[in-house]
Structure 1
């Protein structure tokens, strides 16, 4: 080896040993962790064990959806709970004795329509999906995973399919069968197992077996949950779950006992309870050069704060986890499908048409990376606020002095302009600053002395107007409460942000029910 080559290699070695070591991220990084398992999908609102029920569970933000599988006569793995189609369908076929093509002739929405009173137009016929199809749906996103419950001895086939599709990181298994769950761990030790237990099993035996087999969770029948059992499960380093719970009072009681996970046909209901327990009065960490313009949440674990030239994501306690500088003037914002949509005006506000430069900027809600920009020239006095409802975006904004009405601009998801709605609101200073659709109504925050809160029905007919300040941000929560933003400032320090929960009130529009603790200010 020449001296020159030795020198080059030595230099390379020195560089390499000084490079930072990148720790491998866990395979499940990025998935939600909220303890909400949508039992057979969102089966309270959609036909159980269908792709629409699973998609709804994903859209709502459940961290797991659960499904059941059986094997057909021709060896297909299908998603169905019962061994026959009698309970859910319009004909009675035995799954194990029928081909998949025969099973596809069954309308499994029949019982759902009968129980809910829905028409065929409201709930069209549905067919039994294949496990392949369900896994394909789940693998299109990275927030929700699927727990597979084998209703017959098909564990090996299911694991083989998971391996074939490369779906391991999206998948878990659950059942009360010890042989089935043991087989999962033998074939795929990295896949989580939720071992279902009855109300009266011996918790000490259950824990001993779970630890021996490497099971991650014990899911108890809800009627058998006690504080002592929960304490023992958690002390063993295992997740404590309960199945299957649909009424709010029992959900609340189980959470009070310390249960980590609840299986439910009504994930929306459980998520609302979590939101009610999570979102409280809190201050945003830090101070900023310009004032707060709007807030949003993802209904789960994040609050988004938009100051005039800074965009932040915090946890529910107000601790900053992501922050980016943005163009002046960023305004109000909304969260939709993992993205943030912010009303932006790069021109003049509240002036005659032609002086504004209105946009909607789109950001990744996790990283705050900018994804897109959409021009919204219809907001001729400056885009200041935005909300999402019924598959469409609605932009509000500035207003010159003397105009006695406000305007709401409707856009489709690609931001093609659809319609201008007129609010018979009377004059509000600088138009509308913030907007949200919640509890079946529109809510708009406006500047002024005093500030004004407007309430309108879905057709934009104004039905309430109060002296209440929601001009710095307003967001509806799943449990029927609101978060209202406040923006104190301190000379020499800067502008700050905080949110306080409020509830609808006939006399004052919204009523604040909790203030920020002095130690959090």
Structure 2
């Protein structure tokens, strides 16, 4: 992963420009790109017929007009649902159907400037390790699984599961990875080293309580990715302590705040 450029963190659109458009929809990601996001973040799950889709929750109830588990639905069934009208920005936005990871990859690669795609695999899931297997298969199809170096990679894999990150590291050693975590003890300990993560990812709450995580990560040759940073004092804090990547629901205004 890249180092901080000129003292300013890079801005990652968390599920797209999700404060203004329904999360994980093409409309949300297109707006984030238009607003100048340096990276796009997504969560992926496997459908019943083995397709990778960008959905955060195990169930579709919160973000669609349907109900049920993503893992028990086919892609065709998911495409029949409305993933936009629940959101205040859904009525005015187009392209708010379910988004496949393949479609998001193509959108990112076709954009007129380099943008990194941060892909989080969700665990525990019924599919288990198959999620990482299918992710790497898809990345290979687009020529993204074996970058010349971690710094030049267009994709970053992330998970709260150390086992998932170890699977990625073994199969695609040059693909950068972020070990996400809920506690400073976990992220500041040996877990990241054990799985070969190139970055660690605390929440803004954890980082506020333990800003030394930035220096600890840097001393081990790792970057720091912080989520979810939406308020100006938190954006300023991340810049001041040297965070490399900040995930935010407001990529446009966050870039403005960073100048």
Provide the TM-score with structure 1 as the length reference: 0.43
Q: Is the 8 A contact 1:104 1:128 kept in 2?
A: yes
Which of 63, 82, 86 is equivalent to 1:111? 86
Q: Deviations over 1:275-311 (max 9, x none)?
A: 1xxxxxxxxxxxxxxxxxxxxxxxxxxxxxxxxxxxx
1:247 aligns with 2:231: yes
Q: Secondary structure at the match of 2:185?
A: coil
Q: C-alpha deviations, 1:420-457, integer Å up to 9, x for none?
A: xxxxxxxxxxxxxxxxxxxxxxxxxxxxxxxxxxxxxx
In the other structure, the counterpart of 2:199 is 217
Deviations 1:107-153 (A, max 9, x none): 011221xxx2x573x23472101111111111113421111111243
Q: 1:48 aligns with which of 23, 28, 43?
A: 23
| Equivalent in the alignment of 2:168 | 184
1:181 deviates by: 1.0
In 2, Cα distance between the equivalents of 1:41 and 1:119? 13
Q: Could you tell me whether the CA contact under 8 Å between 2:21 and 2:27 is conserved in 1? A: yes
Map 1:216-235; keep pairs closer than 5 Å: 216-225=198-207, 226-235=210-219
Whether contact under 8 Å (2:14, 2:40) holds in the other structure is yes
Whole-angstrom distance in 1 between the partners of 2:95 and 2:82: 5
Please give the root-mean-square deviation of Cα atoms over the aligned residues, in Å. Answer: 2.2
Alignment map for 1:112-127 (pairs within 5 Å): 112=87, 116=88, 118=89, 120=91, 122-124=92-94, 126-127=96-97
SS of 2:28 mapped into structure 1:
helix
Greater RCO, CA 8 A, separation 6+: 2
What is the number of residues matched between the two proteins?
Answer: 239
Q: Secondary structure, in 3 states, of the residue corresponding to 1:263?
A: strand
* 1:49 positional shift: 0.7
Aligned to 1:161: 138
> How many angstroms apart in 2 are the aligned matches of 1:77 and 1:195?
21
| Residue from 115, 119, 132 that aligns with 1:144 | 115
CA contact (8 A) 2:51 2:75 kept: yes
Give the Å deviation of 1:68: 0.9
Give unpaired runs (5+ residues) of structure 1: 1-26, 276-521
CA distance in 2, matches of 1:221, 1:54: 22
- The Cα shift of 1:268 comes to 1.2
- Does structure 2 conserve the Cα–Cα contact (< 8 Å) formed by 1:108 and 1:125? no
**Deviation of 1:177 (Å):** 0.6
TM-score by length of 2: 0.85
Q: Which stretches in structure 2 are left out of the alignment for 5+ residues?
A: 3-7, 146-152
Partner of 2:70: 95
CA offset digits 1:325-366 (Å, max 9, x no partner): xxxxxxxxxxxxxxxxxxxxxxxxxxxxxxxxxxxxxxxxxx
Taking the aligned partners of 2:220 and 2:90, their CA distance within structure 1 comes to: 49
How far apart, in 2, do the equivalents of 1:135 and 1:227 lie? Answer: 33
* More helix, by proportion: 2
